[in-house]
A and B are shown apart, each in its own frame.
Chain A
């Protein structure tokens, strides 16, 4: 940028314009993400209210007396009018206050803050693992001229989309063996343990589609003329693969990866419960089984907002990589 600014006046003008467009695009996407987050809040709020029956009664069970139910209704704020409940919930969300858990008698935000880092580590590991498989695989498939490779790749991806992750997790635990069961919940010391659940999350679903899209955009890039020019100029293989082929082809996959990561966050509920990892997914299941409504509501909200945030980042990255990407 600094170099361009020091050049002729014409280029300077162009740089400023680009910045304006960039700022506008970021602002537009930010507003959209905020609008979606608002609806995420509304949906998380309404879930408890539109369900049939009285949530307070359901939480306490049939043996509870009318007074106990009335007290709980008051504690959950269910006795007030709907709009007031929503304003309370909304301002609570903004302050990071989600009320008090019914089964553990502690702040819901406390539960979230202890469980969220674990899940984020898992998701981050899945993300890194996914990309480090997708990029080499897609480069290999796209540059290989063998029919067998193309056929094998196509059928494996078609099959891997259809594999149930919980079943794969069970089989892998069976194959890799017993020592894995000796997992202790002290998380940071056991970071190494997370590779297997991350691998299960990577292998089912997302990665297959991502590799396919990336491989197809790389083979589109291969047809461009500048790639041929690069070959004639005799650039190194590394430079050829990563700068000439990969970088211009990444944008669609980055946008898709954000979506895939959202789905991966959803599957943490199953994977965490199989590997008994103390993350948000496990907390959500515990809250569902214990009919702990404030916690269910808060965790659903957290999941939704995480996905909105990730797809916002993915959108920006895709736009940064390729300015032609439109929403």
Chain B
């Protein structure tokens, strides 16, 4: 793409937001790949005196045990992002599928029954259900993924069902049936993509919610637990030193905000391109 074309693209509403957001996202992800590969300190190495302020030797300072915060902050990327990615993509797939099936199914009794189960699951705040289930599954990042897969699909199913009902009545679907296309083809090529465009839009904003959820649960000591390098856990570890050595909590906090804001900008830009509020 030539520079002129790029300028013109950026002038369209929303695109500058998408560009800024995705650049921020790429920066944090590539730092999350490069720092673990090439940085001289590991996340669990005791590299020097505890609670040293940021300097050239230790870019983000050291924590209460003398570990390098720069290394730990970027080692956390794959953990936070990875868990959030799994915790979004699994419910996205199952929820969209269930929603489409409910939307095009003809049995009214089953659909309204499953529909009210979905409403029941959605009635719980996600955080409460996650906290409560950890009592039964035990703390850990894998528990968070399990809970999200068991619970979060209901939100996708609700969106997909509403959209699938609309799509399945559209003229082009009728046309496809009239042309005698096999059902599988109509499902895969027509209904699937049209419904999932809606759930993908939700998945992006769900990614923000889930990143914050994982960090929040770790902050409470329910997901990643110390000594794991994870933003929420690191913020929680730095809490006693918040006033004397604020860098211990602040740098992981900034990394968390940075990632969530980058995604939020992308979502906002995409909404703007489509003229949504």
Interface residues of chain A, those whose CB is within 8 Å of chain B, are 32, 35-40, 42-43, 47-48, 51-52, 55, 58, 154, 158-159, 161-167, 170-171, 173-174, 178, 212-213, 216, 262-263, 265-267, 269-270, 273, 284-285, 287-289, 291-293, 296-297, 299-300, 303-304, 307-308, 311
| Alpha-carbon gap, A307 to B124, bound state (A) | 7
With A164-B232, A265-B128, A266-B126 given, can you name 9 additional A-B contacts, CB distance below 8 Å?
A37-B123, A43-B121, A158-B17, A166-B216, A174-B246, A285-B220, A288-B132, A289-B221, A303-B124
A267 vs B213: C-alpha distance in the bound complex, in angstroms? 10
In whole angstroms, how far apart are the Cα atoms of A170 and B235 in the complex?
9
On whether A285 and B131 interact (CB within 8 A), knowing A36-B116, A162-B208, A300-B124, the answer reads yes
Pick 7 A–B contacts, CB within 8 A, sort by A.
A162-B264, A170-B242, A288-B131, A292-B135, A303-B124, A304-B128, A307-B123
Q: Interface of chain B, helix or strand or loop or mixed?
A: helix
Q: Is the interface of A mostly helix, strand, loop or mixed?
A: helix
Q: Report the separation of the CA atoms of residues A111 and B221 in the bound assembly, to the nearest whole angstrom.
A: 23
CB distance from A155 to the nearest CB of B (A): 8
Residue in contact with B260 in the complex, picked from A47, A162, A284, CB distance below 8 Å: A162
CB nearest to A161 among chain B residues: B264
In this assembly, does B129 line the interface, its C-beta being within 8 Å of a C-beta of chain A? yes
Q: Which of B244-264 contact A (CB under 8 A)?
A: 246, 249, 253, 256-257, 260-261, 263-264
Q: A51-B137, A300-B128 are in contact. Are A167 and B257 (CB under 8 A)?
A: yes
Counting contact residues on chain B (CB < 8 A from A), the size range is 35 or more
CA gap between A167 and B212 in the complex, in Å: 10
Could you tell me the distance between the alpha carbons of A42 and B120 in the complex, rounded to whole angstroms?
9
Could you say which residues of chain B place their CB within 8 Å of the CB of A159? 261, 264
Report chain A residues within 8 Å CB of B15.
none
Residues on B with C-beta less than 8 A from A171 are: 253
At the interface, yes or no: B185 with Cβ under 8 Å from chain A? no
- Assess whether B124 is in contact with A40, with CB atoms less than 8 Å apart: yes
Known: A304-B123, A307-B125. A166 touches B132 (CB 8 A): no
Known interface pairs A174-B246, A270-B220; A162-B127 also in contact (CB < 8 Å): no
Quick check: A164 and B256 within 8 Å, CB to CB?
yes
Closest A residue by C-beta to B21: A158
The complex places the Cα of A166 from the Cα of B264 at a distance, in Å, of 18
- The answer to whether A284 and B132 touch across the interface, beta carbons within 8 angstroms, is yes
Closest chain B residue to A273 by CB distance? B220
Of the residues B136, B242, B246, contact of A51 by C-beta under 8 Å: B136
Q: Are B264 and A158 interface neighbours, CB within 8 A?
A: yes
* CA–CA, A158 and B263, complex, Å: 9
- Separation in Å of the B93 CB from the closest CB of chain A? 22
B127–A267 CB distance below 8 A:
yes
Q: In the assembly, what is the distance between CA of A47 and CA of B135, in Å?
A: 10
Return B116 CB to nearest CB of chain A, in Å: 5
B243 within 8 A of A: yes
Select one of B119, B132, B260, B267 contacting A300, CB under 8 A. B132
B128 to chain A, nearest CB (A): 5
Task: Give every chain A residue within 8 A of B277 (Cβ-Cβ).
Answer: 212-213, 216
Partner of A40, one of B123, B131, B216, B260: B123
The 10 closest A-B pairs by CB, nearest first: A266-B125, A39-B120, A51-B136, A162-B260, A162-B264, A158-B268, A288-B135, A266-B127, A300-B132, A167-B253
CA distance A271 to B220 in the complex (A): 10
A20 to chain B, nearest CB (A): 25
Within 8 A of A (CB), among B119-149: 119-121, 123-129, 131-137
> Across the interface, do A39 and B119 meet the contact criterion of CB distance under 8 Å?
yes
